[in-house]
Copies of this chain bind each other. A is one copy, B any other.
């Protein structure tokens, strides 16, 4: 169990995302995922320890790539303001491009047991660390207020981004999520004490 290799592993992950997005978390039986992946039910257990392991792996794989993409853009030499905007824009862009992934991470996977969600949070930690670094840099460079509470600032970034994406899904993608990156980043920066009047 837990041997990660071969194309089957990927097939199952992809199938899980699609099945969960289409049927909802609690209608996503192992047998349904197996069928969609084109493998037998039992095969799932050759690649994953159990159903929960499949779901965690979905998040791991997908969020791993997600975070890598965001990191990649941040390494370039950008101002803090540009970095925050880049992070938000990248976050929105990636979820815009894969609505199934958006549904799964924003809605369906949150229905999982609190135990599973703790593990998901661990995976998210790397993403949060990126935000932490960004805030630190903002303060160090004098762009953000000295008295800014860093932890709260990060929670504000994540909470806002998260809520904006969720609302977009709940509104059935009726507007372009990408267009919200600029105003969202602007509000956040302003909240942190950066002078962004000009940008808005």
* A residues at B contact (CB < 8 Å): 24-26, 107-108, 110-115, 117-118, 121, 145, 147-149, 151-153, 155-156, 158-164, 167, 170, 180, 183-184, 187-188, 190-193, 200
Contact = CB atoms under 8 A, between A and B. Distances in A.
B111 A152 contact: no
Given A111-B111, A149-B183, A162-B163, 20 more contacts: A24-B113, A24-B114, A107-B117, A108-B114, A111-B112, A111-B113, A145-B200, A151-B167, A152-B180, A152-B183, A152-B184, A152-B187, A155-B163, A155-B164, A156-B160, A159-B161, A159-B162, A190-B191, A190-B192, A190-B193
23 contacts: A25-B114, A26-B113, A111-B111, A118-B170, A147-B200, A148-B187, A149-B187, A152-B183, A152-B184, A155-B160, A155-B163, A156-B159, A156-B160, A158-B163, A159-B159, A159-B160, A159-B162, A162-B163, A187-B191, A187-B192, A190-B190, A190-B193, A191-B192
User: Copy number of this protein in the oligomer?
Assistant: 4
User: Which of A110, A111, A170 has the largest count of B CB atoms less than 10 A from its CB?
Assistant: A111
Nearest to A187: B191
Contacts of A200: 145, 147
Nearest to A186: B191
A164 B159 CA distance: 8
A158 B167 CA distance: 11
Given A24-B113, A111-B111, A155 B183 contact: no
A184 to B, nearest CB: 6
Contacts of A160: 155-156, 159-160
Contacts of A187: 148-149, 152-153, 156, 191-192
